């Protein structure tokens, strides 16, 4: 079945991030939008909602989430 190496790293989830309630709600809405676009581009496969949600969530965390750090200069 190919030589694909399975990613065994632990991925953070949205719920584990330090976000205000408002920021978490905004993130969920953006992730939902991204997941829907991915699902549509894939031809709207049935029973794939979780797969697209997790993919969109990983991408949002990787590209959009910027954690606040103690001692960091505030702009």
Residues 21-62: pLDDT tens digits? 898 898 899 999 999 999 999 999 999 999 999 999 988 888
C-alpha atoms less than 13 angstroms from C-alpha of 53 in its C-beta half-sphere: 10
Q: What is the pTM of this model?
A: 0.70
Return all residues near 2 (Cβ < 8 A) that are at least 6 apart: none
Q: Judge residue 56's burial from the number of C-beta atoms within 10 Å of its C-beta, 0-12 exposed, 13-18 middle, 19 or more buried.
A: buried
- The pLDDT, as a whole number, for residue 6 is 53
Domains of the chain, residue spans: 19-63
Higher per-residue confidence, 3 vs 66: 66
């Amino acid at each position: 079945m190919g030589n694909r190496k399975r990613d065994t790293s632990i991925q953070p989830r949205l719920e584990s991030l330090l976000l205000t309630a408002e920021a978490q709600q905004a993130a969920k809405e953006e992730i939902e939008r991204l997941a829907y676009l991915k699902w549509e581009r894939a031809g709207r496969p049935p029973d794939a909602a979780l797969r697209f949600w997790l993919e969109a969530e990983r991408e949002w965390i990787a590209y959009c989430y910027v954690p606040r750090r103690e001692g960091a200069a505030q702009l």
